[in-house]
Amino acid sequence: MSANQTNRTWQADLVARYPDIFNQEFEGRVTAPGYPSVGDGWRDLIETVIGRIARAVAAAPTGSLKIGQIKEKFGALRLYLDNNNGLPAATCAAIDEAICLAEARSACTCEQCGEPGRLYDKGGYAFTACDQHAQGKVVPVRPGRENVHIVRRLQDGKLSIVSCRRYIREIDSFVDVSPSELDIKE
C-alpha cells in the first residue's frame, strides 16, 4: 500500500459506491448522514438493502432518495430516509420492503459476526448476538412468535393489523401468517 492510500472501511466504500443516495449538501459541504453506524456482522445485510434501494431508485422514471441514518436500536437495524422526492408508489413499496427485510434479518443476526443470533438484554441495553458474542440474558420470545413482524396502522380511528409476517432467514423472505393463529388480537 502506498503512503497516500488509507485503510477504508466497508462503510466508507459503500457510501463511495452509492453517492446519489448517501451524499447530501449542507451549507456548501457534502456530508453522508446515512453513513452506516453498525457492526461488521451486519455488513452483508446493509450492502444488500442499499443495493436493493439503489436498484429501485435507478429503475424509477422519476424521483430521488437520500439515506438519513443507518444504526442499531433496540437490537435491530434502523434505516431512516431523509427525503423521497417524487418516486412512484411502486418504487416506494419496493424500498419499504427492502428495509423491512433488512430490519427483520438484523433481528436474527449477530451484529458482531453475522452468524444467526437472538435478542439479549444486558442491563437495559438490547442487542442481537450469537451464542459466542452473547452477554446478559436472552430476551424470551413466546413460542411460535419467533421472527414475527406485525405492521399496524391507524385506520378509521382504530389501530389495525396491516400485515403479519414471519421472516425466514434461510431464504431472506417473509411468509404471511394469520394473527389469529398466533393468538394476536387487533
Domain boundaries, the chain: 10-140, 142-186
- Residue 93: how many other CB atoms lie within 10 Å: 12
pTM of the model: 0.90
C-alpha triplet 85, 87, 92: angle, nearest 5°: 115
Collapsing DSSP to helix, strand or coil, 5 comes out as coil
- Residue 111: how many other CB atoms lie within 10 Å: 23
**pLDDT tens for the 186 residues of the chain, in order:** 444 445 679 999 999 999 999 998 889 999 899 999 999 999 999 999 999 999 999 999 999 999 999 999 999 999 999 877 899 999 999 999 999 999 999 999 999 999 999 999 999 999 999 999 999 999 999 998 999 999 889 988 988 898 999 999 999 999 999 998 888 877
In sequence order, what are the beta bridge partners of 154? Answer: 159
Q: Give the Cα separation of 78 and 71 in Å (integer).
A: 5
